[in-house]
Amino acid sequence: MSAALDSSPTNQSAATMDAVRDVVRRQWGFTSFRPLQKEAIESVLAGRDSVVVLPTGGGKSLCFQAPACCMDGVAVVVSPLIALMKDQIDALHENGIPAAFFNSTLSWNEKKDVVDQMRAGKLKLLYLAPESLLTDEMFSVLQSVQVSLIAIDEAHCISSWGHDFRPEYRGLKVLKKRFPGVALHAYTATATERVRQDIATQLSLEEPEMLVGSFDRPNLFYRLEQRCGGFGQIVEVVDRHPNESGIIYCITRKDVEKTAAALKTLGYRTAPYHAGLDARTRKKNQEAFLTEQVDIIVATVAFGMGIDKSNVRYVVHTGMPKSLEAYQQESGRAGRDGLEAECCLIYSAGDVMRWKQLIKQSDTGYEQAMAALDGIDRFCNTLRCRHQLLLEHFGQSLDQSDCQACDVCLGQLDEVDEPLVVAQKILSCIARLEQQFGGDYTAQVLTGSQDKRILVKGHDSLSTYGLLSEHSHRTVRNWIEQLVGQNCAEKYGEYNQLQITELGRQVLRGKHTPQLLQPAPESKKSSRKSDPASWEGVDRGLFESLRDLRKQIATEKGVPAYIVFGDATLRDMARRRPSTQESFLETHGVGQKKWADYGNQFLASITDYCQQQGLAMDVAPTETPQPQRTPKLNASAIVAFPLFKAGKSIAEVAQQLSRAESTVCGYLQQFIQQEEITDPSPWVDTATATRVREAIDAVGNERLKPIFDHLAEEVPYEQIRIVANCLQQALGTSC
Name the amino acid, one letter, at 189: A
Classify residue 267 by burial, with Cβ atoms within 10 Å: 0-12, 13-18, 19+. exposed
Residue 6 lies in a domain: no
Encode pLDDT of 44-65 as tens digits.
999 999 999 988 777 889 999 9
Q: Residue 175 has what pLDDT? A: 94
Residue 619 lies in a domain: no
pLDDT category, 702, cuts 50, 70, 90? Answer: low
Q: Domain containing 560 — which CATH number?
A: 1.10.150.80
CA distances from 634 to 90, 409, 607, 631, 637 (A): 48, 9, 45, 9, 6
Contact indicator for 259, 248 with CB cutoff of 8 Å: yes
pLDDT category, 533, cuts 50, 70, 90? Answer: low
Mean local confidence (pLDDT), 450-466? 94
Encode pLDDT of 356-413 as tens digits.
887 777 756 777 788 888 889 888 877 788 999 998 888 888 877 678 899 888 877 7
Query: Are residue 248 and residue 387 in the same domain, yes or no?
Result: yes
In the 8-state DSSP scheme, what is residue 24?
A: I
Task: Tell me how far apart the alpha carbons of residues 399 and 410 are, in angstroms, rounded to a whole number.
Answer: 17
Residue 369 lies in a domain: yes
| Contacts within 8 Å (CB) and 24+ apart, 200-203 | 200/49, 200/51, 202/158, 202/159, 202/169, 202/170, 202/172, 202/173, 203/49, 203/152, 203/155, 203/158, 203/172, 203/173, 203/175, 203/176
Residue of 375, 373, 383 whose CA lies nearest to 406: 383
pLDDT above 90 for 633: no
Residue 1 lies in a domain: no
Task: Tell me how far apart the alpha carbons of residues 226 and 514 are, in angstroms, rounded to a whole number.
Answer: 20
Residue of 218, 452, 250 whose CA lies nearest to 340: 218
Count of the separate structural domains present in the chain? 5
Residue 643 lies in a domain: yes
Q: Residue 459 has what pLDDT? A: 96
Task: Tell me how far apart the alpha carbons of residues 494 and 4 are, in angstroms, rounded to a whole number.
Answer: 60
Residue 497: its H or E element: strand 497-500
Query: Are residue 406 and residue 448 in the same domain, yes or no?
Result: no
Encode pLDDT of 161-208 as tens digits.
766 677 888 899 999 999 999 999 999 987 888 889 999 999 999 999
Q: Residue 524 has what pLDDT? A: 46
pLDDT above 70 for 632: no
Query: Are residue 512 and residue 396 in the same domain, yes or no?
Result: no
Query: Are residue 187 and residue 225 in the same domain, yes or no?
Result: no
Helix (H, G, I), strand (E, B) or coil at 335: coil
Helix (H, G, I), strand (E, B) or coil at 702: coil
Query: Are residue 347 and residue 306 in the same domain, yes or no?
Result: yes
Question: In terms of pLDDT, which residue wins out, 524 or 98?
Answer: 98
Of the residues 388, 412, 436, the one at which a domain ends: 412
Classify residue 139 by burial, with Cβ atoms within 10 Å: 0-12, 13-18, 19+. middle
pLDDT above 90 for 531: no
Residue 629 lies in a domain: no
Question: In terms of pLDDT, which residue wins out, 657 or 304?
Answer: 657
Residue 320 lies in a domain: yes
Query: Are residue 156 and residue 53 in the same domain, yes or no?
Result: yes
Query: Are residue 298 and residue 269 in the same domain, yes or no?
Result: yes
Task: Tell me how far apart the alpha carbons of residues 376 and 390 are, in angstroms, rounded to a whole number.
Answer: 10
Of the residues 379, 412, 445, the one at which a domain ends: 412
Measured between its terminal Cα atoms, the distance across the chain in Å is 50
Residue 405 lies in a domain: yes
Q: Which of 54-58, 209-213, 576-580, 724-728 has the lowest mean pLDDT?
A: 54-58
pLDDT above 80 for 627: no
Q: Residue 162 has what pLDDT? A: 62
Q: Which of 114-118, 152-156, 367-371 has the lowest mean pLDDT?
A: 367-371
Query: Are residue 173 and residue 233 in the same domain, yes or no?
Result: no
Share of the chain above pLDDT 70, in %: 90
Contact indicator for 186, 210 with CB cutoff of 8 Å: no
Encode pLDDT of 240-259 as tens digits.
999 899 999 998 899 999 99
Please provide the DSSP assignment of 182-210 as one string. --EEEEES---HHHHHHHHHHTT-SS-EE
Which structural domain, as residue segments, surrounds residue 575? 533-613
Query: What is the pTM assigned to this prediction?
Result: 0.67
Query: Are residue 206 and residue 229 in the same domain, yes or no?
Result: no
Helix (H, G, I), strand (E, B) or coil at 99: strand
Query: Are residue 260 and residue 381 in the same domain, yes or no?
Result: yes
Task: Tell me how far apart the alpha carbons of residues 185 and 182 are, in angstroms, rounded to a whole number.
Answer: 10
Mean local confidence (pLDDT), 641-662? 83
Q: Which of 242-251, 272-281, 452-461, 623-632 has the lowest mean pLDDT?
A: 623-632
Residue of 454, 509, 529, 514 whose CA lies nearest to 484: 514
Contact indicator for 140, 74 with CB cutoff of 8 Å: no
- Torsion-angle region of residue 335: left (phi > 0), alpha (psi -120 to 50) or beta? left
Query: Are residue 601 and residue 649 in the same domain, yes or no?
Result: no
CA distances from 219 to 222, 271, 325, 627 (A): 10, 26, 19, 6
Of the residues 188, 212, 236, the one at which a domain ends: 212
Task: Tell me how far apart the alpha carbons of residues 686 and 726 are, in angstroms, rounded to a whole number.
Answer: 13
Q: Number of C-alpha atoms within 13 angstroms, CB side, residue 223? A: 26
Query: Are residue 191 and residue 250 in the same domain, yes or no?
Result: no
Q: Domain containing 137 — which CATH number?
A: 3.40.50.300
* Mean pLDDT of all residues belonging to the chain: 85
What radius of gyration, in Å, describes the C-alpha atoms of the chain? 28
Question: In terms of pLDDT, which residue wins out, 86 or 72?
Answer: 72
Task: Tell me how far apart the alpha carbons of residues 660 and 447 are, in angstroms, rounded to a whole number.
Answer: 27
